């Protein structure tokens, strides 16, 4: 199968509009004891969900460049799937007020007079440390008087104009302008990202290595993989490149695949894994500070339930139960083509909270990294696309494999036919050219006994 990014290739339509159905499953951490947390108690959460959305993706503004690259925008939209969900978008969830707690943390080192003014503003606007909002509001946005005030006096502080929602900027929008290599002229660079939004590297982090844009756009990879291969891609949502490592060979619906998983060092802090020092300032290992690319809010990225992180993180919050079966991410790739067959990428977003002296709304909250939600993006090839892949990648190679032995056997038969014919023809010629000897009966000694004895002749009678 030709996997180059070219309108004449068989895989171009698949690259342009991925035929695999993707789903976004979101799980919220409902805070059961917000008042106790304000008084310094240990947070207790309850996982709610999943709230499942069908994710639609399509590429537009596709432009082929002279340097063997193609530029494009990929748009995404989400549609709620009630029959796949455990709950409705109208369900209410108690979570920390991200705007209030983020603003309080930003004011921590400011003069007390400013903090008191902020406390007064929060009180006037009716803002609190925790909020009770619907799933739809948390996901796609809600009107907030504090948001309106911030946009009025600090118009460039947040990327949101109007409503504030954790996924508001992802719906009906694109993830930036990607420029990737097509592989038409240089097959070794196929699908690798050349630039993102015109940049060869980002500036969110504190080292050149962490700012590098490595790998692909996260949809297809170079073909002809081996167990020594790794999967690297740039994620605009995480503002960084990520690398997955080979775990095992497997089968997906009869198609051979390689499974790639996240290494334990993916979100490790700089003291555990020095190359990650550029992502700091760091806290406990296993969570990544993304405040530099998320409007300076004290947000952290990790595996769900703090899986693969420092155990103290999960111990600080009641109701968390990390385990690899439910919370580890993986990608199953067909090694010959580099095309994903089955994938499940799971990430958690958490908020660092603590009491800020001078801001009354923060009460006596003890320092804690409190999970807000975790989400999984999953997709698996199915239907006619899967059947077509099975025919081309499994069935056809098997037929060709056995056909070579059939053809070999047939060739041997055809080779033996003239040899046998030649041997038989030579035998017939030898038989014709040799004299024929008649078989003689063996004579026994003694008198010959005639088979028939002549009767004795009698003299004719005299005529009378």
Position 438 scores a pLDDT of: 47
Helix (H) or strand (E) holding 208: helix 208-211
- Is pLDDT above 90 for 191? yes
Percent of the chain whose predicted confidence (pLDDT) is above 90: 61
- What residues form DSSP beta bridges with 346? 376
Nearest to 329 by CA among 367, 374, 368: 374
3-state secondary structure 309-350: CCHHHHHCCECCCCCHHHHCCEEEEECCCCEEEEEEEEEEEE
In this prediction, residues 172-184 reach a mean pLDDT of 93
In this prediction, residues 142-159 reach a mean pLDDT of 75
CA–CA separation, 19 vs 445, rounded Å? 104
- In contact, 209 and 270? CB cutoff 8 Å: no
Measure the N-to-C terminal CA separation of the chain; round to a whole number of Å.
126
For residue 290, what are its two tokens? 């993304």
- Is pLDDT above 80 for 299? yes
3-state secondary structure at position 351:
strand
| pLDDT, the chain, mean | 87
- In contact, 288 and 350? CB cutoff 8 Å: no
In this prediction, residues 302-310 reach a mean pLDDT of 97
Position 382 scores a pLDDT of: 84
- In contact, 354 and 368? CB cutoff 8 Å: yes
- Is pLDDT above 90 for 418? no
Mean pLDDT lowest among 168-172, 258-262, 329-333: 168-172
- Is pLDDT above 60 for 461? no
In this prediction, residues 330-357 reach a mean pLDDT of 93
Q: At what angle do helices 145-153 and 112-125 cross, to 10 degrees?
A: 130
Mean pLDDT is highest, among 49-58, 105-114, 180-189, for 49-58
The pLDDT tens digits of the residues spanning 381-398 come to: 888 878 877 776 665 565
In this prediction, residues 335-355 reach a mean pLDDT of 93
Q: Exposure string (b/e) for 99-135, b if CB count within 10 Å is 16 or more? A: bbbbbbbbbeeeeeeebeebbeebeeeebbbbbebeb
Q: Residue holding tokens 């595996």?
A: 303
In this prediction, residues 275-299 reach a mean pLDDT of 91
In this prediction, residues 102-112 reach a mean pLDDT of 90
DSSP letters for 268-299: --TTTSGGGGGG-S--STTEEE-GGGTTT--E
- Is pLDDT above 80 for 116? yes
In this prediction, residues 78-97 reach a mean pLDDT of 97
H-type helices in 126-170, by residue range?
135-140, 145-153
Give the number of other Cβ atoms within 10 Å of residue 21's Cβ.
Answer: 15
Residue 25 contacts by C-beta under 8 Å, 6 or more apart in sequence?
49, 50, 51, 52, 53, 375, 376, 378
Position 373 scores a pLDDT of: 98
Position 19 scores a pLDDT of: 78
CA–CA separation, 360 vs 116, rounded Å? 8
For residue 129, what are its two tokens? 């440390």
CA–CA separation, 67 vs 89, rounded Å? 46
Position 18 scores a pLDDT of: 81
What burial class does residue 444 get, using C-beta atoms within 10 Å of its C-beta: 0-12 exposed, 13-18 middle, 19+ buried? exposed
- Is pLDDT above 60 for 140? yes
- Is pLDDT above 90 for 11? no
Q: Residue holding tokens 């009906």?
A: 172
> What is residue 171's DSSP assignment?
T
């Amino acid at each position: 199968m030709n996997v180059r990014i070219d309108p004449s290739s068989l895989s171009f339509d698949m690259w342009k509009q991925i035929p695999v159905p993707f789903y976004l499953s979101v799980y919220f951490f409902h805070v059961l004891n917000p008042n106790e947390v304000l008084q310094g108690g240990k947070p207790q959460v309850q996982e709610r969900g999943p709230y499942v959305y069908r994710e639609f993706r399509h590429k537009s503004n596709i432009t082929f460049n002279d340097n063997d690259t193609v530029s494009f925008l990929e748009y995404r939209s989400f549609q709620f799937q009630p029959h796949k969900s455990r709950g409705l978008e109208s369900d209410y969830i108690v979570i920390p007020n991200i705007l209030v707690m983020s603003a309080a943390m930003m004011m921590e080192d400011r003069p007390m007079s400013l903090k008191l003014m902020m406390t007064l503003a929060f009180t006037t606007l009716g803002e609190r440390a925790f909020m009770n909002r619907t799933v739809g509001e948390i996901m796609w946005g809600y009107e907030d008087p504090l948001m309106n005030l911030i946009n009025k006096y600090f118009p460039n502080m947040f990327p949101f104009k109007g409503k504030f929602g954790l996924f508001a900027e992802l719906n009906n929008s694109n993830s930036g302008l990607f420029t990737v290599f097509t592989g038409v002229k240089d097959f070794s660079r196929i699908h690798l990202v050349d630039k993102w939004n015109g940049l060869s590297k980002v500036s969110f982090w504190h080292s050149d290595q962490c700012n590098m844009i490595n790998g692909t756009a996260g949809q297809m990879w170079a073909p002809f993989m081996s167990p020594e291969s790794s999967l690297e891609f740039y994620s605009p949502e995480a503002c960084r490149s990520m690398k997955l490592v080979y775990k095992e060979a497997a089968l997906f619906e009869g198609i051979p695949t390689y499974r790639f998983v996240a290494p334990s060092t993916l979100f490790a802090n700089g003291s555990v894994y020095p190359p990650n020092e550029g992502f700091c300032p760091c806290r406990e290992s296993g969570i990544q500070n993304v405040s530099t690319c998320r409007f300076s809010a004290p947000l952290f990225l990790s595996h769900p339930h703090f899986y693969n992180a420092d155990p103290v993180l999960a111990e600080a919050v009641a109701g968390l139960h990390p385990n690899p079966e439910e919370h580890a991410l993986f990608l199953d790739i067909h090694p010959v083509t580099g095309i994903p067959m089955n994938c499940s990428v799971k990430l958690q977003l958490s908020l660092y909270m603590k009491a800020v002296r001078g801001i009354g709304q923060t009460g006596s909250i003890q320092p804690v990294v409190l999970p807000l939600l975790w989400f999984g993006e999953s997709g698996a090839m199915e239907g006619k696309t899967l059947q077509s892949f099975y025919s081309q990648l499994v069935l056809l190679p098997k037929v060709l494999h056995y056909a070579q032995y059939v053809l070999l056997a047939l060739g041997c038969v055809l080779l033996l036919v003239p040899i046998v014919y030649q041997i038989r023809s030579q035998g017939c010629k030898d038989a014709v050219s040799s004299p024929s000897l008649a078989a003689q009966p063996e004579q026994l000694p003694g008198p010959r006994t005639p088979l028939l004895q002549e009767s004795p002749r009698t003299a004719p009678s005299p005529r009378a």
